[in-house]
Amino acid sequence: MNKNKRVGYVRVSSMDQNTDRQLDGIETDKLFTDKASGKDTKRPQLQAALDYVREGDVLVVHSMDRLARNTEDLLRTVRELKERHVSVQFVKEGITFSGVQANPMDDLMMTMLGGFAQFERAIIRERQREGIELAKAKGVYKGRKPSLSPEQVSTLRQRAAGGEPKATIARDLGISRETLYQYLRQQEAA
């Protein structure tokens, strides 16, 4: 007998964010978790969840902005799931889009809520930029905390000067190659 499943999907924006609170207290049969920015198109666990769900299943997501990068992406993803007769439940919004029957009101509601969420994210980013500019003008903005300690930077530069592959150095230090190159450029500018 094929039992319908409740499949959870969780996405956090960074490695240090906690996933526990997103579907806390929500029962699921299987859970997929991505640690990636919403704007990132590479969300392997979302793709795995979409491949996993079957007709009659429910995909459970904390909120619309956790599932999609923008309104267009949200509408497409939910539409494709509904076409496969998979329901989508958004916990924060308290709404479920049925994979069994078409409901024009659901589609309208999803479009409006997705649009509001996208607008809200844009406003937050704009406020953040304004706050940083004000802090810079006051001389209190210090920027992002350095990824590496001074000792690690010294080691990085010695290894790079010794001809070791940059990708290997970056991987060993747990940084991106771009961050590695930024540290090397700082040395050249000094």
**Three-state DSSP state, 34:** strand
Q: How far, in Å, CA of 68 to CA of 37, rounded?
A: 10
**Three-state DSSP state, 171:** helix
Which two structure tokens, joined as six digits, stand for 133?
């500019």
Identity of residue 34:
D
Q: How far apart are the first and last CA of the chain?
A: 69
87 is catalytic: no
Which among 6, 13, 11, 48 is positioned nearest to 33, based on CA atoms?
11
Q: What is the CA radius of gyration of the chain?
A: 22
Q: Which residues are catalytic?
A: 13
